[in-house]
């Protein structure tokens, strides 16, 4: 029973008291509700501690108070099924007597300050091994440190979701996670798992675990693993070059992730590799040609990436039944059975280069030829000036010549009489009766700016000293 008399509440009575703006502390008197089964005050502004009396309510099955500002203590009611205190301000070590919560199916205390980056932060996990109904466990973003205890592999086989990312955990990832046969979501990102050198596991299947983030470079310390499957996760970033240090690898499955960058050439160091699947990622660049030198490679799947360039022809690349490259539209070459387009040859590049050089030569040569012709014309005109009778006539008086005379002298400015042409003018040869000899007749192109200036300059050059 809940009594709300003598208040000023308005509106309808809500089905639960969550998602309001309730403030203050949880009243101690709530601990007297011996038949309380559901306590849901999430997304309010409650603060302070959870009353110890509430831990004694045997009938309580659901306790959700995430998104408040609660702190100091945790509940351990024996019949509790759902316990969610995420996004609060809880501090201190997680109790190690959680084995009493035998009916617990959902435990979420992420985004608090429960860890102190110490080796004892994760001791509580051992007490959860008796919670045989546990289906979801999340303690990410809690500042937990230390090494994950091996007891985590003994959690309930009903466990579907395990989230422990964004903490400060170190050491080895327990090798018995495959015991959690119903696990479909596993997040361990942004920790400091580095010491894998003593891992004696020979086969590691981490496919379909919803892993996110970069694959750590420490993967290269899995010296004894001969089969590694991290397919169908959400890995991103580049494939670390240290993958080539796993010298015992025979089977490597990395398909259906979000890996990007180039295929590391260090994969060619895996001389015993038999199966390699990198399909359905975002890999780019060229296929390392050294992959064709892996002697025992029987299956290679690089399909549905963004690879480009020449496909090798030897090794596994010569067996089209053992090779998949579809979905890479920029690949070329390879064995004829692949039916890929031919790669551009170097000869084509040379032809294109020669064509470009020829065009440059022509562009530079034409002005040079024009300049030579202009110099020849000037010299020729100077030679004409040496004739005394013509020079005397030119010095004594200017010769009056009509357009008709010029037209007749050049046979109508016939191309047969054209000596040369330039940017500003054309020069014709013709016979003038007035001087009884051949003369050069220049026709200016007045549409070109500077034509008059050029003519004046030439006249000064031809003027006798």
Per-residue pLDDT tens over the stretch 121-158: 888 888 888 888 899 899 888 888 888 888 888 998 89
Higher-confidence residue: 334 or 88?
334
Higher-confidence residue: 255 or 41?
255
Dump pLDDT digits (tens) for 270-307.
999 999 999 999 999 999 999 999 999 999 999 999 99
Please report how the helices 388-396 and 346-385 are oriented relative to each other, as an axis angle in degrees rounded to 10. Answer: 70
Residue 89 scores a pLDDT above 90:
no
Confidence tier at 415 by pLDDT (50, 70, 90)? confident
* Alpha-carbon gap, residue 33 to 48, rounded angstroms: 20
| Mean predicted lDDT score pLDDT of the chain | 76
Q: What pLDDT score does 60 carry? A: 60
Closest to 50 (Cα-Cα) out of 75, 20, 16, 87: 75
Q: What is the mean pLDDT of residues 339-347?
A: 83
Q: What pLDDT score does 361 carry? A: 66
The ranges assigned to domains in the chain are: 6-338, 410-462
* Alpha-carbon gap, residue 117 to 145, rounded angstroms: 4
Q: What pLDDT score does 197 carry? A: 43
Q: What pLDDT score does 373 carry? A: 63
The two three-digit tokens of residue 155, written as one number: 């959690």
CB 103 within 8 Å of CB 127: no
Q: What is the mean pLDDT of residues 452-460?
A: 68
Other Cβ atoms less than 10 A from the Cβ of 457: the count is 11
Q: What is the mean pLDDT of residues 261-272?
A: 94
Residue 44 scores a pLDDT above 50:
yes
Confidence tier at 79 by pLDDT (50, 70, 90)? low
Residue 422 scores a pLDDT above 80:
no
* Alpha-carbon gap, residue 116 to 145, rounded angstroms: 7
DSSP H stretches of helix in 87-243: 124-127
Strands 227-229 and 203-205 turn out to be parallel
Angstrom distances, CA of residue 345 to CA of 76, 159, 183, 340: 74, 58, 52, 15
* Alpha-carbon gap, residue 148 to 144, rounded angstroms: 10
DSSP H stretches of helix in 49-155: 124-127
Q: What pLDDT score does 51 carry? A: 65
Residue 414 scores a pLDDT above 70:
yes
For the domain covering 410-462, report its CATH number: 3.30.200.20
The two three-digit tokens of residue 427, written as one number: 């020069």
Alpha carbon of residue 132 to chain centroid: 43
Residue 359 scores a pLDDT above 60:
yes
* Alpha-carbon gap, residue 233 to 275, rounded angstroms: 19
Of all helices (H) and strands (E), which one includes residue 71? strand 69-71
pTM: predicted TM-score of the whole model, two decimal places: 0.46
Confidence tier at 169 by pLDDT (50, 70, 90)? confident
Quote the strand ranges of 85-167, DSSP E: 106-108, 136-138, 145-147, 161-163
For the domain covering 6-338, report its CATH number: 3.80.10.10
Q: What pLDDT score does 364 carry? A: 62
Local structure of residue 59 (DSSP, 8 states): T
Q: Is 442 annotated as a binding residue?
A: yes
The two three-digit tokens of residue 455, written as one number: 């003519």
Q: What pLDDT score does 258 carry? A: 95
Residue 386 scores a pLDDT above 60:
no
List Cβ neighbours of 346 (8 Å cut-off, separation of 6 or more): none
Q: What is the mean pLDDT of residues 84-104?
A: 77
Confidence tier at 65 by pLDDT (50, 70, 90)? low
Residue 18 scores a pLDDT above 60:
no
In sequence order, the β-bridge partners of residue 186 are: 162
Residue 465 scores a pLDDT above 60:
no
Q: What is the mean pLDDT of residues 158-170?
A: 85
Please report how the helices 346-385 and 451-462 are oriented relative to each other, as an axis angle in degrees rounded to 10. Answer: 50
In sequence order, the β-bridge partners of residue 429 are: 440
Largest CA distance in the chain: 140
Residue 315 scores a pLDDT above 70:
yes
Higher-confidence residue: 185 or 235?
235
CB 25 within 8 Å of CB 51: no
Q: What is the mean pLDDT of residues 327-343?
A: 93
Q: How far apart are the first and last CA of the chain?
A: 129
Residues in the chain, total: 465
Of all helices (H) and strands (E), which one includes residue 357? helix 346-385
Confidence tier at 349 by pLDDT (50, 70, 90)? very low
Dump pLDDT digits (tens) for 207-232.
776 678 888 887 888 788 888 889 99
């Amino acid at each position: 029973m809940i009594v709300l008399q003598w208040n000023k509440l308005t509106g309808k009575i809500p089905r639960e008291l969550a998602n309001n703006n309730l403030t203050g502390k949880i009243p101690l008197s709530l601990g007297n509700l011996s038949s309380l089964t559901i306590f849901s005050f999430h997304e309010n502004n409650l603060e302070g501690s959870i009353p110890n009396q509430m831990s004694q309510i045997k009938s309580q099955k659901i306790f959700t108070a995430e998104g408040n500002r609660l702190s100091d203590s945790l509940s351990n009611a024996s019949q509790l099924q759902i316990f969610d205190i995420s996004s609060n301000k809880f501090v201190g070590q997680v109790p190690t007597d959680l084995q009493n919560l035998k009916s617990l199916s959902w435990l979420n205390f992420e985004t608090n300050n429960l860890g102190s980056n110490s080796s004892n932060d994760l001791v509580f996990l051992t007490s959860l091994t008796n919670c045989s109904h546990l289906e979801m466990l999340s303690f990410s973003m809690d500042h937990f440190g230390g090494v994950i205890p091996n007891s985590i592999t003994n959690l309930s086989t009903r466990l579907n979701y395990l989230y422990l990312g964004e903490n400060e955990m170190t050491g080895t990832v327990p090798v018995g996670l495959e015991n959690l046969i119903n696990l479909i979501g596993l997040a361990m990102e942004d920790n400091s798992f580095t010491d894998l050198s003593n891992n004696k596991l020979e086969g590691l299947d981490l496919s379909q675990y919803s892993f996110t983030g970069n694959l750590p470079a420490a993967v290269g310390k899995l010296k004894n693993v001969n089969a590694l499957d991290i397919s169908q996760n959400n890995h991103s970033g580049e494939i670390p070059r240290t993958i080539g240090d796993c010298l015992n690898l025979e089977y490597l499955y990395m398909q259906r992730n979000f890996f990007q960058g180039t295929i590391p050439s260090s994969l060619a160091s895996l001389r015993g590799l038999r199966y390699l699947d990198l399909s359905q990622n975002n890999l780019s660049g060229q296929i390392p040609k050294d992959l064709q030198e892996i002697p025992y490679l029987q299956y290679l799947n690089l399909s549905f990436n963004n690879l480009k360039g020449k496909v090798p022809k030897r090794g596994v690349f010569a067996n089209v039944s053992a090779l998949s490259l579809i979905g890479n539209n920029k690949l070329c070459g390879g064995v004829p059975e692949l039916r890929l387009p031919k790669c551009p040859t170097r000869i084509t590049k040379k032809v294109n280069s020669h064509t470009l050089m020829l065009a440059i030569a022509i562009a530079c040569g034409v002005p040079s030829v024009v300049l030579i012709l202009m110099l020849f014309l000037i010299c020729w005109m100077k030679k004409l000036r040496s004739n005394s009778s013509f020079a005397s006539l030119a010095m004594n008086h200017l010769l009056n010549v009509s357009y008709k005379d010029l037209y007749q002298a050049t046979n109508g400015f016939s191309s047969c009489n054209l000596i040369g042409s330039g940017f500003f003018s054309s020069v014709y040869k013709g016979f003038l009766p007035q001087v009884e000899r051949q003369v050069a007749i220049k026709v200016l192109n007045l549409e070109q700016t500077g034509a008059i200036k050029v003519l004046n300059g030439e006249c000064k050059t031809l003027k006798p000293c």
